[in-house]
Structure formats: structure tokens, C-alpha cells
Amino acid sequence: MMARAALSLSSIPGGDDITRVELANGIVVLVRENPNSLSVTLRGYLPAGSLFDPDDKLGLADFVADALMRGTAKRQFQAIYDSLESIGASFGFSAGTHTAGFGGKSLAEDLPLLLDILNEGLRAPLFPTDQVEKLRAQLLTGLALRTQDTRDMASLYFDQLVYRQHPYARAEDGYPETIGAITIDDLRGFHRKTYGPRGMLVAVVGGINAFTAVEQVRAALEDWTNPDQPALPELPDWEALPARAYKRHDIPGKSQSDLIVGTAGPPRLSPDFMAASLGNNILGRFGLMGRVGDSVREKAGLAYYAYSSLAGGSGPGAWEVAAGVNPANEQKAIDLIFQELQRFTDDLVSEEELNDSKSNYIGSMPLSLESNGGVADALMNIERYQLGLDFYRQYPSLVQAVTREEIRAAAAKHLPVNKLAVSVAGPPRAEA
Amino acid sequence: MDVLKTTLSNGLNVLLKEIHTTPIISHWLWVRVGSRDEPTGLTGASHWVEHMQFKGTPLFPAGRLDKDISRDGGFWNAMTYIDWTAYFSTMPADKIDLPMRLEADRLVHSNFDPQEVAAERTVIISERQGNENNPMFLLDQDVQSAAFEKHPYKHEVIGDMADLQSMSREDLYNHYKRFYIPNNAVLAMAGDFDSQLMLDSVRQLYEAIPAGPAPARVAAEEPAPQEERRVVTRGPGETIFVKAAYRSVRATHPDFSALTVADSLLAGPSNLNMFSGGISNKTSRLYRHLVDRDLAVAVSGGLQATIDPFLYDITIVVHPERKADEGIAALDEEIARLQDKAPKAEELARAVKQAQALFAYGSESITNQAFWLGFAEIFDRYAWFETYLARLAAVTPQDVQRVAQTYLRAERRVLGVYQPDGRPAGDDA
């Protein structure tokens, strides 16, 4: 209809516009300026995730991260949030399996405040008793709601079926009895032992000057040390399921069942990850949720949602298909999903499907990098997996290189249909 | 940047805003139809029609559309609300032609194939059943139903289950034909284009579509509430939720700004961005009075910009060791405090600063900017948005006290409690 600027790689972050600095204590700082932006996004992580949780204190890493802003040597809980909320800023900590993460945003001139809050939370949390107990009540309420959530419960049991003895079987947010068992000494001990600068990343993106931002991070954090900071525990190998596994969990009074079919997928750095990722797009994402969406939702009308996902990540995160269905249609939906998985692992995807997914991946990249947050996430990916600063500029050629045969090989290797787990949570059958 | 605003000869409102920071264009088509246009028996029709808009036209058959958009690297979706239905696509700038042609086509040429209608019935029932799994949906449904006698706002957007089971293909098609006309729609685009050239393209695609008769509206004048109503929703779980829903004002009402500030002081700033996160509310009055004092584990407020007076609601997640009445008593104390004493000017200045920051965050997303263009046009004019911060800044402490006295009175509210029956969950396999 009219000529418009074609996409150019200049808007994609790369080695010439990402500033990467390693501080003396090991903290890596990545900064990208966005002169069009009035605000700044600060994100990052350090290796203090739930892999460090003792079995009887599951949820400890999560509890610690949540408690870091409940009072520090410099400010009480209300003063911390008053300083943030007064200027329309946000900031928070959370914990995952491998890392504890942090993130927030503010108007660009308020970056020093975000760094102050980060610094205080990391280095001087007090874990005051009254605040810890408030937080405990909130965590326990979250767990009570989880027991009533069909999606959450299907996912919890799916992880147990797939990962068994592997640490990924454990719930990062714990259980009521483990959250109840955590003491203030546990919180302090976990923080003292695992929090430190080694393996930490700070990403800053927005309407700031890169040099100034690096110096601000340096001033806040370069003198932090923790000589006893341990390396992340080694992940044991994951062993494939010997056969298909099934679990159904009843939650009385519910209207819909949620189900998950799948198993462990390739880690982000596995050589076949890109093939698996493009394959997953064909299986359960492209268009209105790929082949699975087409079969379960569009053709059979069985579900409001049906899609697949591939976690990637540092370890063998899940590769799974999920759907929400009327309880009477559970088995029908599971059968359709297995049909699609069988086809996906046996047959080559079509040339057209592969080309479609490739152009989807390449074309959608600028959209995912539109916001400061999107760029910050990209910077974290680059560092976490050592992808190289030009990764997003090379991305189109990496995508183009994947073949149909590689996708089938990745599917057959990671999604053996006779060794998958099926987890369902929904109303008891008599109620449905 | 200036916005090009015009109305085509067939009545289609067009708003175009050039933003050249990144090679992206976001395209929104808004139709003035939502659950407020649904009589009893046809509740959920607007949302179901929205689903059918993805089921193809003769020119763009079902199943092809999603693939075409995905192939070009874009994302698209649609949403139905009480006042409107909106369809959006955000694309690389050089790929915007496809969604433009598609939206113009499906405004009037959707198939409504009977088999597709039948398949979508089970999908929508499944969507509703998914909602029913959530205690807050069950509570909302009861509160909304008790809050209105005549106005269709009493129904959930997704519709009543009985209507979802009984509505026919003809019901849906008639609803579509009545409301999907250019003089009942708003086209809003933001992104990397030349406005005059883009307007030419819009004219080529839309101007030939004939206007239709202005659709009759079923939305009735709702009588003023006379007394507090209380509802109790029972269901599974362990957690008690409280929802206090006060009859609010329409978005164009002069008191809307003061009510926005009152909400910000009570429950933290509402976020007007659909594509950008908000901020925490831990220093808000209700958080401090309820959560800091262990009566609740969370509290939030919600004020919506709507065509007719809807609801300002406050939701409390009650502390596991407390009762609903304790949370309600504390809520009433805080509301009485705002009614009895005007807030300090510093508190208002803070609320304005928060709103400014949220605006800055929201303006970074082209999709969000295009959303603002059309959204405000539905209940007022885009100028509503352009003057929003100035109107908030003009609110005085006495205004806030007055609107608290006027609108946050018990007789204007429905008080809903989700009372869990405590049935334990268990395993059978």
C-alpha cells in the first residue's frame, strides 16, 4: 500500500550499543541506553535460588527474597515503600530455582533510588519478627489458594511425576508445613550464606547515560563481598520416565479440569534447543496456539485454552502441552494431544510450517524488544547463557539454520510418547 | 505528537498518531458494543461475536488469519468489556497492510458458519467454567448482580450459562449486524507511519462500507441505590474474600477525577495502562490499616472509566486468622476518616506524581498508546486522556473529602463476602 521503513538491525541491541562491565567483586553490569524513554528499568539476578533449600524448609529461598524489603538497617518496611511509591517507582525481589531475581522501574532520574533499595535489600536486610510473620501469613494464604487452583495443582503434580528424585520436583514456594517450619534464624542464615556478588548480574535499560549508570551501580555494589558464598549445587542428571505416568488430583466444587502432558525438555544451552523451540512453536504456539490449539480448541471445541511450552533454562525444564477442559472431556482431550505428539515425533513438519515459524520468530523479535523491560530481559539472557552481545543480531541466521530433520530428532528425543507424564486436576468425577 | 482525528463519510471515527521511535505499528478497531447492550437471554452475545470474528470471512477463511499474522511476526487479540469490544494487531511497520485489510473486511463480512458457532459454544462454556474455578469470579458475579436492578451491567461479560447454552446462530449474527457498522466503530492507530498517507489507506479500505442505522441501546437508567445490600458467596477453599462495590460515576462526570484521587489514597494508584505494569500499594491508607495490622493479607481498589455509572470496588483478602467482619470494620474506619477529614495537600501531590510516572511507563509501548487513543474515544474523547493529568492535579483536598462523603456511603454499596466452605481437596489416583 505504501513504502515504509523496513526493519533494520540498528534497533536491535548488539555489541556496539550494549555496555558490559565486570566490577572488581565479580558483578557483571550490562547497560543499554534508550534515548526515547523517560524511564529506566533495573533487573538482575544472583545465584540464590531454591536449589539451596533444605527438604524440610522448602520455600526458604522464596521467603528470604520476599523478606529483603521488609526492613533494612537503613529503612523500615513502610519507609522503603514510601520512598518508592512516592515517586511512582516499583521494585521487588523474588526467587526461582537457580537464582534470586530483582527488578523495578522508575523515572530515569530516580535510578539512584532503585540502586539504594537494591543495595540495602541485598546487603542489610533485618528480617524483623513482626514483618516476617506478616509475610508468612501472606505466603500461607498463597499456598491455600494454590490448593484450590486446578492449574497450579496440575503443575505441582506434573513436576513430581516427571522429576521424582531430581530437585526440579520440589515446589519453589514450598508447602504449608515447610513455610511454617522456617525460623528467622533460617532466613538470616540463608541470606548470610548464599547472597553475594559472585555470579550476579545487573541490567539497566532506559533514558540514562551508560557511563553514569555503570558508575552508579559501581558506587552502590562494588565494595560488597562474601568470601563464603558457595557455588550453586550441581544439578544431578535427570532420568527419563520408564513408562507413561498418570496422576489425577480431585478438587471438589470446581467446574473445569486442567491437564498437562509432557516431560523434561532440553536446557537452553543444549545443541538442539533452537530446533526444539521452533518445533514447539509449530506444536503449540504458532497462530492460535499451533497444531494443539487447532486440534483441541478450533476443530474439537474442547477447550478455551490449549498450547504447548518449552521452558529451556539452565537445566532440563519442562516441555509440556496444557489445556483446560470440561471434566467430561478430559480423556478426549488427552487422546487428541497424544495424537498430535505422535505425529510431531514421527513425521517431519512441513516446509511451510517450518518457514512460517521461522518468519514468526524473526519478525516478532523487534516487538519483544520494544520496551525497556524487553531489552533488559534480552540482556539477562545474553549473560545467563553466555550467548554473546551480538546474539540478537545473529538470531535470524540461527533461526534460519534449523532443519525439519533437526526438529523431528529433537521431538523424538525429548517427547517420547510412551514415556510422558499426564497430570490432571479437577472436580471429582462424580461431581462433574 | 499531534493526533490526526477525522470522521469518514460513513461515520467511522479515525485517530492516527505518528510515533517514529521503533518500526512498529499498532492497529485497533473498537466497536461500541459490550455487555451493556445485551438484553436478558442474550447475555454474553458480544463476547461470543468477538470469538466468531476469528472464524473467517469469504476473503480470509478461518485458520488462515492467525497464521498470516504470526508469519509476519505480529501479535493480535481481542477483548470484550461491558462497554466495548476491541480488536488489535501490533506488527512490524512494513507488515501492517494485512491486519488493516482484515479488520475492514471482518467488520461486515464475517461468516458465522453454523458449525463454527456450535464448536465455539463449547469453547466459551469452557472459558466460563475456567472462570468459575476462581473464587473471585464467583464473588464478582454475585456482587455485580446485586448492584444493579435494571442496567445490563448486572451481568458478567462472558454471559449467563443458560444463555450460552440457548443462544442461536441467528441471535449472534443479528447482534453482529446491528452493532458492527462503521458509524458505531473507532479506528485507532499509533506507530511508524505518515498520517496523511495512512489516512488515504484507511479511506480506501473503509469508506465504501455503508453506514447502518444507529443501534438502539438497551442500557436503562439505573435507579439510585437506596440501601446497602449484602451477599454471601459460598464455595470451596479456605480463604475469605471481601468485596465492597460502590455505585460510581461515569467517566465524563466532573467527580471522576476526585474519585480517582480518593482511590489512589485509599488503595494505591490504579493503572490505566493495559500493556505496562503498575506499582505497589503498600503505603496506601487501606494497606496500612488492614495489612499492616494483620487483618488482611492484601487489599486493592478498582475504578473503571465507563459510559454509564459502574462500580468502584475494594477487594480484601482476609488474613487466615481473621474474620470478614473485622476486615469490613477496618475498611469502614478508613472510609470514615477520609469523609471526616480532608487529606493533606502532600498526599494529593504524591498521587499526581504516581499518575505521571505510570503515564511515562505506558507511553513507551506503541500498543499501549494506540489503546489509549481508542479507549478514551469510547466513553468520551481522546482529549479525556490528554487532559487526565491536569484534571488530577486540579483536584483539591476538599474535593476528595466531598466525593468520599457523596459516593462511599454504605447505602451506595454492595458488600460481598466469599465464605469458603472448607471442604478439603484430596486425591483419588
Taking an 8 Å cut-off on Cβ atoms, the answer to whether B320 and A37 are in contact is no
The CA distance from A230 to A232, in Å, is 6
Q: Which residue of A has its CA nearest to B64?
A: A287
C-alpha cell at A160: 513430581
Could you say which residues from 382 to 411 on chain B have a Cβ atom under 8 Å away from some Cβ of chain A?
A: none
Residue whose C-alpha cell reads 490528554 in the numeric block: B386
Q: Check pLDDT > 80 for residue A145.
A: yes
Mean pLDDT of A16-30: 97
Identify from A40, A129, A298 which residue to disrupt to test chain B contact, counting B C-beta atoms within 10 A and taking the largest count: A298
Q: How confident is the model at residue A8 (pLDDT cuts 50, 70, 90)?
A: low
The torsion angle over the Cα atoms of residues B96, B102, B104 and B108, rounded to 10 degrees, is -170
Could you say which residues from 150 to 189 on chain B have a Cβ atom under 8 Å away from some Cβ of chain A?
A: none
Q: Check pLDDT > 70 for residue A406.
A: yes
Mean residue pLDDT across chain A:
95
Cα first-last separation, chain B: 61
Of A5, A90, A298, the CB nearest to B192: A5
pLDDT at B421: 87
Taking an 8 Å cut-off on Cβ atoms, the answer to whether B66 and A287 are in contact is yes
- B237 near A CB under 8 A: yes
φ, ψ at B255 (rounded to 5°) = -85, -5
Mean pLDDT of B413-417: 98
pLDDT at B1: 62
- B292 near A CB under 8 A: yes
Q: Which of A303, B81, B104 is nearest to A294 (CA)?
A: A303
Could you say which residues from 48 to 107 on chain B have a Cβ atom under 8 Å away from some Cβ of chain A?
A: 54, 62-63, 66-67, 69-75, 90, 92-97, 100
C-alpha cell at A172: 519453589
Length of chain B as a residue count? 429
For A207, residues 6+ apart whose C-beta sits below 8 A from its C-beta are A33, A34, A35, A36, A37, A38, A39, A40, A108
Give one DSSP letter per residue of A26-86, joined into a string: S-EEEEEE-TT-SEEEEEEEES-SGGG--GGGTTHHHHHHHHTTSBBSS-BHHHHHHHHHT
pLDDT at B66: 83
| Element of type H or E holding A280 | helix A273-284
Three-state DSSP class for B413? Answer: strand
C-alpha cell at B372: 489509549
Cα first-last separation, chain A: 53
Interval B60-109: pLDDT, tens: 998 788 888 999 999 899 999 999 999 999 999 999 999 999 999 999 99
pLDDT at A10: 59
Give one DSSP letter per residue of A330-390, joined into a string: HHHHHHHHHHHHHHHHHSPPPHHHHHHHHHHHHHHHHHHTSSHHHHHHHHHHHHHTT--TT
B296 forms beta bridges with B318
Mean pLDDT of B248-272: 94
The CA distance from A341 to A290, in Å, is 12
Three-state DSSP class for B44? Answer: coil
pLDDT at A9: 53
Measured between beta carbons, the chain A residues lying within 8 angstroms of B118 are 301
Mean pLDDT of B351-357: 91
The CA distance from B403 to A345, in Å, is 63
Of B54, B62, B353, the CB nearest to A88: B353
For B27, residues 6+ apart whose C-beta sits below 8 A from its C-beta are B88, B89, B90, B91, B96, B99, B100, B103, B187, B188, B189, B370
Interval A36-92: pLDDT, tens: 899 999 999 999 999 999 999 999 999 999 999 999 999 999 999 999 999 999 999
pLDDT at B219: 82
Q: How confident is the model at residue A288 (pLDDT cuts 50, 70, 90)?
A: confident
- Between strands A28-33 and A257-264, the pairing is unpaired
Distances (CA, A) of B90 to A363, B373, B375: 11, 14, 16
Mean pLDDT of B53-62: 92
The conformational region for residue A99 under phi > 0 = left, psi -120 to 50 = alpha, else beta, is beta
Side-chain-side CA neighbours of residue A192 (13 Å): 8
Q: How confident is the model at residue A187 (pLDDT cuts 50, 70, 90)?
A: very high
Identify from B89, B165, B280, B285 which residue to disrupt to test chain A contact, counting A C-beta atoms within 10 A and taking the largest count: B280
pLDDT at B394: 97
Interval A228-241: pLDDT, tens: 999 888 899 999 99
φ, ψ at B295 (rounded to 5°) = -95, -25
Interval B152-164: pLDDT, tens: 999 999 999 999 9
Share of chain B above pLDDT 70, in %: 98
Q: Which of A186, A143, A156 is nearest to A56 (CA)?
A: A186
The CA distance from A359 to A270, in Å, is 23
Identify the burial level of B315 via C-beta atoms within 10 angstroms of its C-beta, where 0-12 means exposed, 13-18 middle and 19 or more buried: buried
ipTM of this predicted complex?
A: 0.91
Q: Which residue of B has its CA nearest to A83?
A: B283
The CA distance from B56 to B28, in Å, is 18
Q: Check pLDDT > 90 for residue A318.
A: yes
